[in-house]
Structures are given as C-alpha cells and as structure tokens.
Copies of this chain bind each other. A is one copy, B any other.
C-alpha cells in the first residue's frame, strides 16, 4: 500500500518533472532553441520516453502556457481578495501589480516561460492558450473597472487600452529584472506610483 503510493508519486514526478524541466528551459532559451532531447535530459530521462506522458511537443507547451497564466491569475486574485472590501484604491492597484510581478519574477518558471515563448509558438498552440489568457484579462478589466466606478481612476481612461499598457510594461521587466538589486514588491510599488500619479512635476505644463 505504501509502495503503490510511491508508484503513483513517481508517475507524478515523471510527468511534472518533464513539465518543470521544459518550463525552465523554455523560459531561459525560448521555443525554437529547446528540443525534446534537451527537455528529456534535464528531466533525467530519454527523449522517446516523453511520449509516454505527452502526445507531442506542442502538448507540453500548451500545458506550460496555461499553467503560466493561471499562476499569475491566482496570485493576483488571492492578493486582491486578501484586502478588506473598503481598501483604498491605491492598495488594490498595488496588490494587482505586486501579484503579477511576484508571480512573474520570483516564483515562476511557467509564468516566465509563458511571457517569453507565447510569441514564438505555432498559432494552434497560441489559440489553445487564449481562453485562460482571456480569463485573466477579463479579471484585470473587472478590477480596473471597479476602481473607475469608485471614481479612483479618471473616467476618460480607456481601460482595455490601459490594461494592455500595464501588462506590457510589467511583462517587460522579465528582460532586465535583477532580484539582487531590489525586490519584485518594491518594483511593483514603484510602478504603481508611476501609473497612478504620472511623472509630471505639476499638473500644469512646464516649458
């Protein structure tokens, strides 16, 4: 009975071992540079064995892409839910940025893999990832919309467009972020201030 459990665990290790190795490699090297043989070696098995767990390379990619978005979505949702219902708008906005950046920069082979390779995968794989992606986008739009209804965000801000701006800026941090030069949370707070207040000295125009 104990041993049968061990077998079941090993089964999970095998599968998730492949996914973990693949996510790590894909996040570092990109879609085209990572072969099944590299993934297999990193997972401690041989290339052909991958097909016991997955039907194709794109199958692995699809699963990693979905898990990547889901991890960010969950992290952001949890952080927002942890706030009291009447939390200041600034705190809600910060929670969103903190969740997204921490998931992306600190715990996230899958998340960073998603950001890095989404633009490189075949169209079919990209399409398979769209529902999960759309769900996260809808969640963000809802959060922003609530802030706008509460009159915290100006009514003339185009929310879907701002959401694209926001995600673009956040995801780009992956290319240069160095955890030794400051935490992801500090970076998130800094970004939040920039987005909320702008960079202008006064509201008026300076020559």
- Our pick among B32, B90, B152 for the contact of A32 (Cβ within 8 Å) is B32
8 contacts between A and B (CB under 8 A): A33-B122, A86-B207, A90-B205, A152-B206, A155-B201, A157-B199, A164-B172, A196-B200
Partner-B contacts on A (CB < 8 A): 30-33, 86-90, 116, 119-120, 122, 150-155, 157-158, 161-162, 164-173, 175-176, 190-191, 194-201, 203, 205-207
B172 A190 Cβ-Cβ under 8 A: no
Q: How long is the Cα–Cα vector from A168 to B174 in the complex, in angstroms? A: 10
Given contacts A164-B176, A176-B164, A158 and B120 within 8 Å (CB-CB): no
Q: Which of B31, B32, B200, B203 contacts A153 (CB 8 A)?
A: B200
Q: How far is the CB of A92 from chain B (nearest CB, A)?
A: 10
Of A150, A175, A201, most buried by chain B (CB within 10 Å of CB) is A201
Q: Which residue of the partner chain, among B33, B88, B152, B155, contacts A120 with CB atoms under 8 Å?
A: B33
Q: From the candidates B30, B173, B197, B207, name the one contacting A164 in the complex (CB within 8 A).
A: B173
Instruction: Quote the shortest CB–CB distance from A116 to chain B (angstroms).
Output: 6
When the two chains form the complex, which single residue of B33, B155, B191, B200 contacts A197, counting CB atoms closer than 8 Å?
B200
User: Which single member of B120, B168, B195, B205 contacts A173 (CB below 8 Å)?
Assistant: B168
Given A119-B30, A164-B176, A206-B88, A196 contacting B198 (CB threshold 8 A): yes
A172: which of B153, B169, B191 is its contact (CB, 8 Å)?
B169
Shortest Cβ distance from A169 into B: residue:
B169
Is A165 within 8 A of B150, CB to CB? no
Shortest Cβ distance from A154 into chain B, in angstroms? 5
Residues in chain B near residue A195, CB distance under 8 A: 194, 198-199
Partner of A157, one of B88, B165, B194: B194
